[in-house]
């Protein structure tokens, strides 16, 4: 975690975290401005510090790159390459992975910045008009960072004060203690954040309620916590319903409009990271590069496409709505989600690349995510915002919650809201009314979440939260993907499908302890070496 680095540079990081998001004031950037009392002496300065926390959250090593790529790759829906993705796509993660360590440190750096903001607002700027909303944003972002940590790494050190020499090293805290801190922060944010737009792109109080619902949903599927599963599902419903009843958000009439370049901060967005492409070095917003095939109309850069979509998504997008693979699919989400069949390279020799479902083996027997395409930007940093939480996600959360509360008609009603936007025939074509509640409906909701939210960073969490008995949705989807790679692909009439070590790896070994091992990432080696309150005995099982 390198706490000494964080201690001495915490204030400086506020000012330089990401100049693609944060405009630096040179007058504050000299050594004298690193005094907290001066730093928090004006509302303008405070707003720069708030921006710095957002910058850490959206940085290359956190939501702007590493975290998004690694978690997406570690699912049967995607494969990846390079240091940020290969071992994650192969379900063989090393604790010594540099990018794993970098991401861990960046998340804690985000938390440390939020801690500094909370402490110093209360100490030096308690009476500024915007102090309450600034506290709300700090509590909100700290909660999101810890929610990522506890879901991906399980028990982790819990730091709620700025690191100092006395608190340099911390042991892991119980997951209930971590969840309680997340709930405390989000609950504070529900009252501290405004309920009306104050700065475009900043979260409203209802976003905190939405995340409380997500937290309680996860807790409902955990064991060893203080409340019953049903109590957590009820709490999830209460908070999700607050967002639903607020009428602050709604589905855009056209799904594709969500992903039109330049169409940002829409009525569907609950929380969205704001990006501006500036600078000549990698700082943030790598999502467009990561998913877009290089030197194409989707990504003009000379690198890209490190995260590719396995056939599980597109193939079963047909079958799960009872559409023949040779038929035109009525789902309006297909076109803005997938790059399929082929794409043209825009530089000599101007190759036309065949991809799935016209290519069945090799590195291009895949699809690409189209949602973050950038037609003209060649800067290494993306100019496109990334939606982290949107209203369709909330509707499918309510569907999942109501299924667990045995309110099956209500659950199906929320599914129908989402599907009707894509095409009013889909609900009937999927024959959802005939699905029994409970296990079958739970599985169907997981499938619906995949098609609605593909490539938006939800897959890793959904696959590990949703389970029928002891069988997680992760195991279910791995088995289905293996079927498609071993003879069940209806597009592949000539049986040309072959595994590829990088882009379509054989996951038949991901069973038993190797499956449960991949429910979490390993604690990074640097943390075990550098934190004298954590030893190898604290490592997650299987690593």
pLDDT of residue 7: 32
Number of domains in the chain: 1
Look at residue 531 and tell me if it is in a domain. Answer: no
Asked whether the beta carbons of 465 and 150 are under 8 A apart, the reply is: no
Helix (H) or strand (E) holding 387: strand 386-390
Assigned domain for 72 exists: yes
Specify the pTM. Answer: 0.93
Which pLDDT value is given to residue 326? 92
Q: Which residues pair with 438 in a beta bridge?
A: none
Task: Kindly give, in sequence order, each residue whose CB lies less than 8 Å from that of residue 479, ignoring residues fewer than 6 positions away.
Answer: none
pLDDT score at 167: 85
**Cβ atoms 284, 58 nearer than 8 A:** yes
3-state secondary structure of 341: coil
Of 9, 8, 85, 22, the C-alpha closest to 59 is 22
Instruction: Check if the beta carbon of residue 265 is closer than 8 Å to that of residue 273.
Output: no
Whether residue 390 is contained in a domain is answered as no
Range of the domain at 157: 1-193
Q: Is 154:73 a contact under the CB 8 Å cutoff?
A: no
96 in any annotated domain: yes
What's 155-205 look like in SS3? CCECCCCCCCHHHCCCCECCHHHHHHHHHHHHHHHHHHCCCCCCCCCCCCH
Residue 334 located in a structural domain = no
Q: Is residue 205, in this structure, part of any structural domain at all?
A: no
- How far apart are alpha carbons 342 and 359 in whole angstroms? 9
Burial-class residue 238 by CB neighbours within 10 Å (0-12, 13-18, 19+).
middle
Q: Residue 325 CA to chain centroid, in angstroms? A: 30
What is the reported pLDDT for 177? 99
Residue 83: per-residue pLDDT:
76
Q: What is the pLDDT along the chain (543 residues), one digit of tens a residue?
A: 433 333 333 333 444 333 333 333 333 333 334 588 889 999 999 999 999 999 999 999 999 999 999 999 999 999 999 878 999 999 999 999 999 999 999 999 999 999 999 999 999 999 999 999 999 999 999 999 999 999 999 999 999 998 888 888 999 999 999 999 999 999 999 999 999 999 999 999 999 999 999 999 999 999 999 999 999 999 999 999 999 999 999 999 999 999 999 999 999 999 999 998 876 666 678 899 999 999 999 999 989 999 999 999 999 999 999 999 999 999 999 999 999 999 999 988 898 999 999 999 999 999 999 999 998 888 888 889 999 999 999 999 999 999 999 999 999 999 999 999 999 999 999 999 999 999 999 999 999 999 999 999 999 999 999 999 999 999 999 999 999 999 999 999 999 999 999 999 999 999 999 999 999 999 999 999 999 999 999 999 999
Residue 453 belongs to a domain: no
Give the number of other Cβ atoms within 10 Å of residue 430's Cβ: 19
Question: Which of 60, 64, 66, 71 is CA-nearest to residue 83?
Answer: 66
Chain-centre distance of CA 516, in angstroms?
21
Helices 3-16 and 98-124, packing angle to 10 deg: 70
Rounded to an integer, what distance in angstroms lies between the CA atom of residue 141 and that of residue 135? 10
Are the C-beta atoms of residues 90 and 515 closer than 8 Å to each other? no
Write the CB contacts of 471 (distance below 8 Å, at least 6 apart in sequence): none
Question: Is residue 410 a part of any domain in this protein?
Answer: no
Task: Please report, for the domain that includes residue 80, its CATH number.
Answer: 1.25.40.390
């Amino acid at each position: 975690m390198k706490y000494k680095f964080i201690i001495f540079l915490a204030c400086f990081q506020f000012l330089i975290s990401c100049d693609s998001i944060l405009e630096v004031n040179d007058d504050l950037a000299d050594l004298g401005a690193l005094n907290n009392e001066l730093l928090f002496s004006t509302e303008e300065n405070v707003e720069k510090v708030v921006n710095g926390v957002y910058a850490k959250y959206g940085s290359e090593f956190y939501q702007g790159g590493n975290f998004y790529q690694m978690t997406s790759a570690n699912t049967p829906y995607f494969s990846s390459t390079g240091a940020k993705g290969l071992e994650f796509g192969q379900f063989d993660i090393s604790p010594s992975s540099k990018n794993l360590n970098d991401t861990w440190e960046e998340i804690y750096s985000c938390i440390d910045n939020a801690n500094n903001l909370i402490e110093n607002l209360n100490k030096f700027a308690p009476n500024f008009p915007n102090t309450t909303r600034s506290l709300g944003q700090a509590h909100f972002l700290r909660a999101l960072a810890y929610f990522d940590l506890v879901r991906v790494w399980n028990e982790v050190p819990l730091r709620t004060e700025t690191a100092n020499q006395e608190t340099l090293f911390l042991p892991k805290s119980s997951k209930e203690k971590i969840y309680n801190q997340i709930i405390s922060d989000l609950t504070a944010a529900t009252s501290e954040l405004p309920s009306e737009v104050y700065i475009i792109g900043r979260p409203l109080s209802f976003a905190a309620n939405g995340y409380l619902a997500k937290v309680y949903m996860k807790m409902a599927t955990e064991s060893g916590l203080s409340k019953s599963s049903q109590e957590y599902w009820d709490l999830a419903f209460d908070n999700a319903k607050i967002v639903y009843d607020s009428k602050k958000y709604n589905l855009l009439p056209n799904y594709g409009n969500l992903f039109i370049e330049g169409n940002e901060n829409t009525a569907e967005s609950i929380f969205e990271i704001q990006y501006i492409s500036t600078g000549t070095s990698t700082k943030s917003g790598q999502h467009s590069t990561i998913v877009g095939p290089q030197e194409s109309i989707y990504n003009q850069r000379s690198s890209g496409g490190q995260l590719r979509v396995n056939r599980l998504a597109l193939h079963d997008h047909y079958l799960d709505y009872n559409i023949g693979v040779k038929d035109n699919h009525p789902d309006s989400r297909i076109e803005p989600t997938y790059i399929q069949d082929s794409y043209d390279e825009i530089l000599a020799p101007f190759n036309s690349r065949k991809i799935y479902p016209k290519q069945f083996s090799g590195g291009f027997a895949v699809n690409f995510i189209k949602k973050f395409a950038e037609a003209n930007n060649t800067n290494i940093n993306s100019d496109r915002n990334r939606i982290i939480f949107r209203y369709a996600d909330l509707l499918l959360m309510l569907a999942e919650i109501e299924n667990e509360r045995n309110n099956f008609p209500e659950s199906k009603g929320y599914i129908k809201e989402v599907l009707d936007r894509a095409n009013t025939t889909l609900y009937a074509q999927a024959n959802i009314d005939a699905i029994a509640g409970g296990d079958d409906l739970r599985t169907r909701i997981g499938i619906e979440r995949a098609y609605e939210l593909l490539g938006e960073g939800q897959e890793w969490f959904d696959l590990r939260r949703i389970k029928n008995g002891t069988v997680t949705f992760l195991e279910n989807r791995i088995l289905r993907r293996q079927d498609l790679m071993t003879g069940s692909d209806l597009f592949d009439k000539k049986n040309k499908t072959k595994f590829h070590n990088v882009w379509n790896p054989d996951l038949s070994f991901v069973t038993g302890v190797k499956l449960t091992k991949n429910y979490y990432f390993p604690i990074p080696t640097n943390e075990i070496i550098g934190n004298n309150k954590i030893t190898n005995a604290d490592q997650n099982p299987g690593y």
